[in-house]
Structure 1
Amino acid sequence: MRAVVVREFGGPGALTAVEVPVPVPGAGQLRIEVAAAGVNPVDAVTRSGVLAELGLLPRLAGSTVGIGWDVAGTVAELGPGTQEFAVGDRVIGLRDRLDVPLGAYAEHLVLDASAVAPLPDGLSAVAAATLPLNALTADQALDLLDLPAGASLLVTGAAGGVGGFAVELAARQRGLRVVAVAGAADHDALRAMGARWLVDREVPDLAAAVRELVPGGVDGALDAALLGIRALGAVRNRGAFVSVAGDVPVGLRGIRVRTVWIAADGPALGRLAELAARGELTLRVADTLPLAQAEQAHRRLARGGLRGRLVLVP
């Protein structure tokens, strides 16, 4: 089968198309015939070698690293003891391990059944492939914040993949009052997604702008744009702060500071997929490209300005 992997870290040209054997599922696993794979910024970070430098990936020495976290497709084979799904089921899943030779950029992918969820009727594989990584990250970040209904939440990078899902989940599912930070061109869309207040991402003093809207500061912040101390300044004393990357500010003023480290969760993914099927989560596809054009997809990702996710189709 065809797959796209990395054998030497570097720029988009480091993505290499290879022919490899079709993977075989082990106990509690299943093999998915891939119909669509989402392209995420973490794919580019993995490809570049930054994660290896941070010790999150082994350094390459004659081995390969798989690329791609988000997958949608059809169950093609069940491993021993796997009973949750049947061959032919439409599914979505998340590959959350970095240290494996194959990712979602492939014609077939083996995942633990616990990382997979049914793909609801009415959702296309292409649209669903934008959901797992970003929506689960947003959902798990909100769990870490643990804010009660009616509390105020700052979301930075609100027009991005994680941020957009966070706005909708917070406002529509958890009853939070959301302050969304994004470019002015995205404000109307975010308001429709449930944001109560909008702040332009170019504002010189983010904390002051937020505190003008929410006197005393917000109860919590989900920092999807990695603004760090700029976003922390908008949080009230003894509030909560969650970042989507490992570099977090010091928890000044008694603020509880955490990092969300994504973990595959089939049941939670199934719940999120049902929300999307009912139109309560917005799935945004910027464009689809053939798997063979993974390098071009990464070059487009690097240019920025995308509304939604690029999706590779084998």
Structure 2
Amino acid sequence: MKAVVIRAFGDPDGLEAVEVPAPVPAAGQVRITTEAIGVGGVDAVIRRGSLAAYGFREGHLLGSEVAGRVDAVGEGVDASWIGRRVWAFTGLSGGYAEQAVAAVEDVLALPAGLTGAEAVTLGGSGVVAHFALERARLTPGETVLVRGAAGSIGITAVQLAAGRGAHAVAVTTSSAERGARLRDLGATHVLDRTGEGGPDTPAGFDVVIDVVAGPRLPLFLDRLNPNGRFVAVGVVGGQPPADFGVRLMDAFRKSLSFATFSSDAVPGPDRRAVRSSQFAAAAQGELRTVVHEVLPLDQAALAHRRMDAGQVFGRVVLAP
């Protein structure tokens, strides 16, 4: 089968389409013939070599989530899965391929009316957005800033925060055009990447959901109101300064909170329940997904170049 691997860490040109043996589902797994493959920020972080200390090596087959049809099951898996259209989390590997395997507990049947591209745009990111807002203890009437809102996590977080009754939902993004699109999704204020906005922009925020991290993270810690909560859900902009915690200590009397969040820390049944609910809402038009474009699998390097250049609004999807 065709797959995309990291030939060399670094820029997107290090990605290469190759022929590899089709995977065989082990006990407790299903195999999926893919129709849509999500391209996420974590894929870019792995591709750059930033997670080599965690065991990722050159030759790694990228990809975390796919949608398609189950074509085989491993030992102990109900054969009725065969032929069903599903979304699946494949871990942090194996998704950029014509076929992929996943543990059956990480597989969810797709509702009618939801495309594969929509499923991989929402499946992983929607859960992160939901539980990040839970971690932040957002309550109606509070102000929220979503930093890096043009990606699939941010787009979902904006909609969910507005739906939870936030008084204001501010976003950072790179252009007026993107800001207008985010307003259409529920944002009330648009800031640039440095945090500058119009005269009506709230001076502070009760909650910050940050997909970016990077060197500017401390500037956004400074924007927290007393008792404010900052939740970092990604590092697409790189690691923050090593001494960023000094900002928290300098603001000791404001009683600020900083947390990181990964959906890996959420029990599987809870992730599954939220994902199922979100898929149903998306199929009914109650939760919007934004697919930037669908590219052929062998153009994964182009997808990554566009993501690195900040040209993607929503999610790029690969299709075999």
Runs of 4+ residues deviating >6 angstroms:
none
Aligned equivalents of 1:9, 1:150: Cα separation in 2: 45
Aligned equivalents of 2:124, 2:274: Cα separation in 1: 12
* Structure 2 CA distance for partners of 1:79 and 1:267, relative to 1, 3 Å: farther
Q: Give the aligned partner of residue 133 of structure 2.
A: 142
Pairwise CA distance, 1:58: 3.8
Determine what percentage of the aligned residue pairs are the same residue: 38
What residue ranges of structure 2 are gaps of 5+ in the alignment? none
1:180-226 CA-to-partner distances (Å, cap 9, x unmatched) read 2333223332222222x3132156657xx79x6446x3221101232
Pairwise CA distance, 1:167: 0.4
Aligned equivalents of 2:85, 2:257: Cα separation in 1: 40
Pairwise CA distance, 1:308: 2.5
Once the two structures are superposed, the pairs formed by residues 22-61 of structure 1 within 5 Å of their partners are 22-52=22-52, 55-60=53-58
Once the two structures are superposed, the pairs formed by residues 296-307 of structure 1 within 5 Å of their partners are 296-307=302-313
Aligned equivalents of 2:148, 2:186: Cα separation in 1: 15
Q: Give the aligned partner of residue 191 of structure 1.
A: 183
Pairwise CA distance, 1:59: 4.1
- TM-score normalized by structure 1? 0.85
Q: Give the aligned partner of residue 105 of structure 1.
A: 96
Where 1:50 maps in the other structure, the secondary structure is: coil
Question: Is this contact kept in 1: 2:33–2:71, CA < 8 A?
Answer: yes
Q: Give the aligned partner of residue 260 of structure 1.
A: 261
What residue ranges of structure 1 are gaps of 5+ in the alignment? none
Aligned equivalents of 2:120, 2:114: Cα separation in 1: 10
Question: Is this contact kept in 1: 2:142–2:166, CA < 8 A?
Answer: yes
Where 1:46 maps in the other structure, the secondary structure is: helix
Q: Give the aligned partner of residue 225 of structure 2.
A: 236
- TM-score normalized by structure 2? 0.84
Where 1:165 maps in the other structure, the secondary structure is: helix
Q: CA RMSD in A?
A: 2.4
* Structure 2 CA distance for partners of 1:202 and 1:290, relative to 1, 3 Å: closer
Q: Give the aligned partner of residue 234 of structure 2.
A: 245
Where 2:121 maps in the other structure, the secondary structure is: coil
**What code does the residue aligned with 1:274 have?**
A
Q: Give the aligned partner of residue 64 of structure 2.
A: 69
**What code does the residue aligned with 1:261 have?**
S
Aligned equivalents of 2:258, 2:209: Cα separation in 1: 10
Query: How many aligned residue pairs are there?
Result: 299
Aligned equivalents of 2:194, 2:287: Cα separation in 1: 28
Question: Is this contact kept in 1: 2:172–2:195, CA < 8 A?
Answer: no
Aligned equivalents of 2:29, 2:298: Cα separation in 1: 27
Question: Is this contact kept in 2: 1:154–1:179, CA < 8 A?
Answer: yes
